[in-house]
Structure 1
């Protein structure tokens, strides 16, 4: 049985977010605002079906998918690009590949204890985020 990501997670560390946003082509003002936000992730999981909500005081983003099935994703509120996205299980990790305008784009989520890890990649940049389960 793959990992259960269900729950609410609060960010505690955010490394190289600026570099990642530059690689995405996000404008200076938006990067400055996004850089000080403390996002919260809410995972709703039913087997291989997921809804991931990223909640901030500036913008929210929701993505729903079924592991193993490609879908069209529009990253509205992020960099507003259209991607062909596939999320697959790699043991207990969720690995996302986003094909589109930007190269080497995607993310990986995994859990260790009460800690959720997220690595975001775009072109030659990697952002590492760490979340703790919300009380």
Structure 2
């Protein structure tokens, strides 16, 4: 089964439970309120031949750039999110792109998958799950 090429630009159309997820990461109240109002854009570059991916999350407040190779652990600096560093591995599980972030927070990570022209993102930490849905730009 070939894996989906996620390359493209995606604009957020919905999110749920983001405040609870950010609270599980110990993000302060004021910053949580700001983040919950943002409508991020995801720009994904994916080279299936090399396994290299770059995921940029762009907002009017802060941008976040994640650059990695599938299946290879790396140190991820999450200063822009919650001030932590963690050991991160991203790889395919079936048709879903799954990220495991080992560090101070238990069960931290995320899952991306495509459903037609919609990119789904499930964020997890400390037993709390948030969901975002993005629509691919034309």
Q: Tell me the TM-score normalised to structure 2 length.
A: 0.96
User: Does residue 115 of structure 1 match 2:111?
Assistant: no
Of the three residues 52, 59, 64, the one matched with 2:67 is 64
Aligned to 1:104: 107
Q: Which runs of 4+ in 1 moved over 4 A?
A: none
User: Does residue 77 of structure 1 match 2:80?
Assistant: yes
Of the three residues 83, 90, 95, the one matched with 1:92 is 95
Structure 1 gaps, min length 5: none
Aligned residues: 135
Counterpart CA distance in 2 for 1:23 and 1:74 is 18
Counterpart CA distance in 2 for 1:99 and 1:77 is 17
Counterpart CA distance in 2 for 1:74 and 1:80 is 8
SS of structure 1 residue aligned to 2:80? coil
Q: Tell me the TM-score normalised to structure 1 length.
A: 0.98
RMSD: 0.7
Aligned to 1:27: 28
User: Does residue 13 of structure 1 match 2:14?
Assistant: yes
Residue 92 of structure 1: CA displacement?
1.6
Residue 76 of structure 1: CA displacement?
2.2
- Within 5 Å, give how 1:119-134 maps onto structure 2: 119-134=122-137
